[in-house]
Amino acid sequence: MPADDDLAALRERCSHFLHGHGPVRAADLLATIPPDTEVDRYGDGGVVAELEDEVTSVLGKEAAVFLPSGTMAQQAVLRVHADRRQRPAIVFHPACHLDQHEGRGYQRLHQLTGRPAGDPGRLLTIKDLSAVAEPVAALVVELPQRDLGGQQPSLDDLPAQLGWARERGAAVHLDGARLWESAAGYGEPPATIAALFDTVYVSFYKGIGALPGCCLAGPADIVAEVREWRRRMGGTLHGLWPNAASALSCLRRRLPLMPQYMSHALAIAEQLSGVRRIRVVPDPPQAPMLHLLLSTSQDGFTRTVRRLAAEQGVWTWPDAALTADPGVQRVELAVGDATCALHPAEISEIIAAFVG
């Protein structure tokens, strides 16, 4: 049996899961679609309209549009912001998803110019932005910053960055793929965070755990243009209802649980504070997610994954991210339903096994 198949078989036999809401299984995802769901037609009406209305209310925005992917949503809205200002430049942190994980579609498809600002290893600052002299169409801010372990600026620092953009006639756009988690970290409702931005993108398959899909929210005229770009980019399918229905049911179920996830993340970090050779990033967590730096080799990490799965029925991670130090592995822990089913002390013991 190939190694990957063997690992998958071990995972299927596990009864406890450390990360997020647990294993992603087709039956569970299909169960998030109510049987009485009202279908849409090419994105109009039905549950799609119901979801858009709910997101509009939750985020306190004028309008929202459902799209099948965040890649499409963010490229579309940044194209709208750039066309309105007749400027091609968009400013973002060097670890921005647009630049790192989308084949730079903003450039190849929309002729936009990306302008990274700041250092990849830390949060963006007003000093970083002040070094940008060229006219820009939009500033993109990701909350929380996933590649930095879920770090985010304080609510005192954020307005200065957004003010820098607005003073230059640029739009401010929130990459809120994890806005639900971000708001819990700030201890504020999502609408309070969304109010700081002109446009907001939110995902439904990440922290909410639904089928793929997202919404773009903002002023009605901008959302209307994004809706047109959705069609141009092939996103207006004949029926978007399965994903929209899943998003709506999971949003209603899990958004109220975000403060609980946040409390659990903080408790996990506190338990790990006394464990040598484990570093929590950031410490304390600033959202219901955190990164862990484990002092172990790649092979040692893999052996521990297999041992925990085979002997304790606990699934942790399929692999770890390499760091500059071969003796340190990095993993991400997103706190969700499955994580909350385990006591923080149990989680600490499981993670400590990697460095024992």
- Round to whole Å and give the CA distance between 52 and 65: 6
Strands, DSSP E only, in the chain? Answer: 16-17, 63-67, 89-92, 113-116, 138-142, 171-176, 199-203, 214-218, 278-281, 289-294, 314-315, 321-322, 329-334
Q: Are 105 and 76 in contact (CB under 8 A)?
A: no
- Measuring CA to CA, which residue among 181, 114, 190, 174 is closest to residue 151? 181
168-194 mean pLDDT: 98
Residues 299-321 pLDDT 10s: 999 999 999 999 999 999 999 99
Q: Can you give the pTM of this predicted structure? A: 0.96
Q: Quick one: average pLDDT of 108-122? A: 96
Convert the pLDDT of each residue in 129-138 to its tens digit.
Answer: 999 999 999 9
The pLDDT tens digits of the residues spanning 318-354 come to: 999 999 999 999 999 999 999 999 999 999 999 999 9
Burial classification of residue 279, based on how many CB atoms lie within 10 Å of its CB (0-12 exposed, 13-18 middle, 19 or more buried): middle
Query: What are the tokens at 115?
Result: 């302008």
Give all domains of the chain, ordered by start, each with its CATH number.
3-22+257-352 (3.90.1150.10), 26-253 (3.40.640.10)
> What residues contact residue 303 under an 8 Å CB cut-off, 6+ apart?
none
Q: Burial, 337: exposed, middle or buried (Cβ in 10 Å; 0-12, 13-18, 19+)?
A: middle
Residue at token pair 């690992």: 7
Report the pLDDT value the prediction gives residue 1, as an integer from 0 to 100.
Answer: 40
Calculate what percentage of the chain has a pLDDT beyond 90. 96
- For residue 259, CA distances in Å to 266, 271, 283 come to 11, 19, 18
Stretch 252-264: mean pLDDT: 98
Instruction: Give the N- to C-terminal CA distance of the chain in Å, as an integer.
Output: 29
